[in-house]
Amino acid sequence: MKKNVCTFFLAAATVFFSARLSAQDNPVSIGFKAGTSVSNYRLSGNLKGLKSKMGVGGSVGGFIKYDINQNFALQSGLDIYYRTSKLENIADNTSNKIKSLGVEMPLYGVVQGAVGSGKAFIGAGPYIGYGIITKANGVSLFKNNNIADSPVMKRLDYGVGGIIGYDFGRYWQVNATYQFGLADLHKPKSGAMKNQGASIGLAYKF
């Protein structure tokens, strides 16, 4: 399952890149990006006795931006992310550190305009993600373990996000993003656990 989902992400990215590059009449830019992030979980139901504190992480990946016209563009990409957060039990002050590694693909509709020598832009759209590894104090939450008889978390994530940034001429882009997860990542139905996070990054365009 893990290999199939990763293959899907890579295939989708390849098809998208190839289709855009073949459209010679439309300006297309592709490149690499890296950034740092903060993230935690929104908890409800039986998980209200826990508090999720934000932790620092990061991401690397590739992106593609397709300028439909001077004022509107589509921006997508494929990110490999590493995230951390801490779950604290409010009653007894114990905590578990959660570390996650996964892949993510956003698609933003972007409004942009010339500012100085570059372009400022702001946009929003959906994202889909897949967790490769998530551990709490070293114990996998995707597999059966000595804490629970069944997996605690789901791998598939999806939600909506926003992006704001600036294209410095031809090669460089700086951006900030926010993601609001809609998928319940908590496998038991007794509580809900949804992702949220923000990041700031730098991209280099070819």
Q: What is the pLDDT of residues 106-163, one digit of tens each?
A: 999 999 999 998 999 999 999 999 999 999 888 888 887 655 555 789 999 999 999 9
Which pLDDT band, with edges at 50, 70 and 90, does 73 fall under? very high
Name the residue range of residue 19's domain: 2-205
- Mean pLDDT, residues 56-60 taken together: 97
pLDDT number for residue 172: 93
pLDDT number for residue 17: 52
Model pTM? Answer: 0.80
Cα–Cα distances in Å, from 36 out to 81, 118, 182? 9, 23, 22
Total residues belonging to the chain: 206
Q: pLDDT: is 46 or 78 the higher one? A: 78
- Examine the pLDDT at 72 and tell me if it is beyond 80: yes
Q: Output the domain CATH number for residue 60.
A: 2.40.160.20
Q: pLDDT: is 94 or 78 the higher one? A: 78
pLDDT number for residue 23: 42
pLDDT number for residue 48: 84
Q: Which of 24-33, 43-52, 170-179, 195-204 has the lowest mean pLDDT?
A: 24-33
- Examine the pLDDT at 21 and tell me if it is beyond 60: no
Which pLDDT band, with edges at 50, 70 and 90, does 45 fall under? confident
CA distance 55 to 91: 21
State the total domains in the chain: 1
pLDDT number for residue 133: 94
Cα–Cα distances in Å, from 107 out to 54, 128, 129, 159, 199? 25, 9, 12, 11, 16
H/E element holding 3? helix 2-22
pLDDT tens across 84-94, in order? 999 998 888 88
In SS3 terms, 63-104 reads as EEEEECCCCEEEEEEEEEEEEEEEEEECCCCCEEEEEEEEEE
Average pLDDT, the chain: 87
- Examine the pLDDT at 4 and tell me if it is beyond 60: no
Q: Is 189 exposed, middle or buried (CB count within 10 Å of its CB: 0-12, 13-18, 19+)? A: exposed
Number of C-beta neighbours around residue 19 at 10 A? 12
